[in-house]
């Protein structure tokens, strides 16, 4: 049971590090998508 707990904790740590790394690119993609949607709405 202890092995499963350490594996799960390690997985969570890897996941949070992955999210922290990708947060910037995700934010940039969201900004691009948002501006694209706005321009699509205004220039129909």
Rounded to whole angstroms, how far apart are CA atoms 10 and 15? 9
pLDDT score at 26: 79
pLDDT given at position 40: 82
H helices of the chain, in order, are 2-42
Tokens of 14: 């890897």
Tokens for 24, please give them.
Answer: 């910037």
Model pLDDT, residue 21 = 67
Report the distance separating Cα 23 and Cα 38, nearest Å. Answer: 22
| Ramachandran assignment for 21, one of left (phi > 0), alpha (psi -120 to 50 degrees), beta (any other) | alpha
Which pLDDT does position 30 carry in this prediction? Answer: 86
- Mean pLDDT in order along the chain per 10 residues (44 residues): 77 75 79 87 76
| pLDDT value of residue 2 | 62
């Amino acid at each position: 049971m202890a092995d499963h707990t350490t594996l799960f904790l390690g997985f969570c740590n890897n996941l949070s590090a992955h999210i922290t790394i990708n947060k910037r690119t995700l934010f940039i993609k969201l900004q691009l998508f948002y501006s694209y949607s706005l321009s699509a709405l205004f220039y129909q």
